[in-house]
Amino acid sequence: MRNIHLLLNLLLIVFTLNKYSLVHAKEALAELWDVEDSELLNLLAIEEKLTAADKTLQLLLENYDSSFGGTYLDVKNRTVYVNTVDFSVVPIIINSSELIHSGYLKFIKFIPAPAKNLMATLTFWFNNIVELIKKLRPVNILAYIDIKLNNVVIYYNLKDEINKRFFKSARKFMPTLLQTNSPINRHSRCNETEISQLQILGVRMIKRRILNGEVIFNEIDRMCSVGFWSKNNKNEDLNYIVTAGHCCVDRSQLFYHLPWNYRRSQDSTQVGEMIESINNFKYEFCLVNITEDVYLPTVIRNTDSEDYRELIIEGGKNITSYSNHLCKSGHITHVTCGYVKELKAVSVHPSGQINMGLIIASKEFFETVCLGDSGGPAFSYLQDLSTASLNAITIIVWYDLSIFLPLHIILSKGGVELVRSH
């Protein structure tokens, strides 16, 4: 009898746990930070303080470029870490009135720089490597400064024989080489490319509502995600959907929309036509001229969240600190978040196309982006869980590294501005 009671209790626990995990899907940001949803507001407030402290600190450190590497945040440790090469100037920094009066000092921790490299040296090496990339045209690589590691990193694929000359020349800048087939990349969450054979039978619906992160596709290419709504900065009647450059290939392609929960291609509706531009390749973004009567609220789709299914975009912003959170919405993996790892990476596509000034974000050992998420918005939460500022769009995946094109490049090179629907 006692045993049966125990068994029943166990069953009850199993049942309750199961039910709990079904009902209680954590916010993507809570998953990144590995905390409960209830702690998020507090941590967002801490992150904002740390970002402000880091900005002040970065300005101070500019005068001491022969003493420090980079700086980065750790929200859960409530700390801005400073990679320090020469500790003799630390008392001078600590004594600066900007840090004392702002109360930022208590968040700042000077730690020995792992590779003893100064930020000025890293920047010099990185710039030289970029010059080599332009000259020797390697393919299929990703180069960036890893602030935590305190060195320049080149991610590459061993199979690309054509890169030999480049690597021989790059060696003198002592980059850390990471192979794309290293063990950390084995656990792929992404399914094979979802190239859809959708027949386009779209009925024209009245005022289709299109959320950022939903599906946009054309007749011949894979499906991508809707980035955001923009308008020509000289003619506000010209409205565009921004998506990734490789989502637009042929001249004047027609584009269609699907929600996330579509069942058939009949659910699609035509939205517009791509605008031909050399910037599609040069900068990896594309503008789709909205020609149909659709409604695009400035809202990011976040259906998997219990309480915040639609995130309101409150404007655009540059990211300024390493290890800040960066989330993205896309039709394959929906909303996921990573830590900002780099703000000016250079990627070279297998075709040889070079893209510069890219943001890298990652969640160690996890892929936060899969192929069809390309084009979707990347954002950071403001001081609550229902509003966000737009930072970038998703453009490429490098195994566990997600690559984003910053908003400021799209706005300046596309001659567009953000549209606000409220």
Q: Which residues bind ligand NAG (CB under 6 A)?
A: 74, 77, 81, 91-92, 95, 189-191, 238, 275, 289, 291, 318, 332-333, 370, 408
CA distance 177 to 124: 18
> Rounded to the nearest whole angstrom, what is the least distance from the CB of residue 8 to ligand NAG in the complex?
33
Long-range Cβ contacts of 65-68 (<8 Å, 24+ apart): 65/118, 65/119, 65/120, 66/118, 66/120, 67/118, 68/113, 68/118, 68/119
* Least distance (Å) between residue 172 CB and ligand NAG: 28
The DSSP code sequence of 153-189 is EEEE-TT-GGGHHHHHHHGGG-PEEEETTSGGG----
Q: Shortest Cβ distance from residue 238 to ligand NAG (Å)?
A: 6
Amino acid identity, position 29:
L
- Which residue lies nearer to ligand NAG by CB, 82 or 395? 82
> 78 vs 137, which CB is nearer to ligand NAG?
78
Q: Which residue in the block uniquely carries the two structure tokens 């702002």?
A: 102
- Least Å distance, CB 318 to ligand NAG, is 4
CB of residue 77 to ligand NAG, shortest distance in Å: 4
Q: What is the largest CA-CA distance in the chain?
A: 80
Is residue 80 within 8 A of residue 324, CB to CB? The reply is no
- 167 or 366, CB closer to ligand NAG? 366
Smaller CB separation from ligand NAG, 90 or 136: 90
Residue placing its CB nearer to ligand NAG in the complex, 156 or 229: 229
Q: How many CB atoms lie within 10 A of CB 89?
A: 17
Least Å from the CB of residue 55 to ligand NAG? 11
Q: Pick the closer one to ligand NAG by CB: 55 or 137.
A: 55
How crowded is the C-beta side of 149, counted as CA atoms within 13 Å? 15
Are 331 and 345 contacting, i.e. CB atoms less than 8 angstroms apart?
no
Phi/psi of residue 39, each to 5°?
Answer: -90, -5
Amino acid in the structure at residue 148? K
> Closest CB to ligand NAG among 238 and 312?
238
For residue 370, the minimal CB distance to ligand NAG (Å) is: 5
